[in-house]
Amino acid sequence: MLPQFDQFQKFGKDNADAALKTFGAVSKSAQAIAVESADFAKKSFEQSTATLEKLVSAKTLDKAFEIQADYARQAYEGFVAQATRMGELYAGFVRETLKPMEAAVSRGAATVAR
């Protein structure tokens, strides 16, 4: 009976270790996502402000349309790039979060099989 208790205790410790590693991965990934989001918001605001300044100083309607079209193109390209980057960050987030749990589950399954 004592060896089974030791195995159960080791299994509990392994799960606690996996939970701590998972928390660390979640924290690190969430921080990276927040920084990326803040950087994009700042860059987007600066781009919008610069475009507004150009629009105000435009001398002709054609020039204003050109400035607006250029802004729309840049905003779209920036959004697509940001969406791709955020997708990569979230995929990494899931991958890193599940990695410690996968190891704990495989160790636990091996322990139970014995």
pLDDT tens, position by position, 42-96: 999 999 999 999 999 999 999 999 999 999 999 999 999 999 999 999 999 888 8
Mean residue pLDDT across the chain:
85
Of 100, 47, 96, give the one whose Cα is nearest residue 75.
47
Is this model's pTM higher than 0.85 or not? no
pLDDT value at residue 108: 59
Token pair listed for 73: 């193109």
Cα(93)–Cα(112) distance, rounded to whole angstroms?
29
The secondary structure element, H or E, covering residue 33 is helix 2-57
Mean pLDDT within 14-30: 80
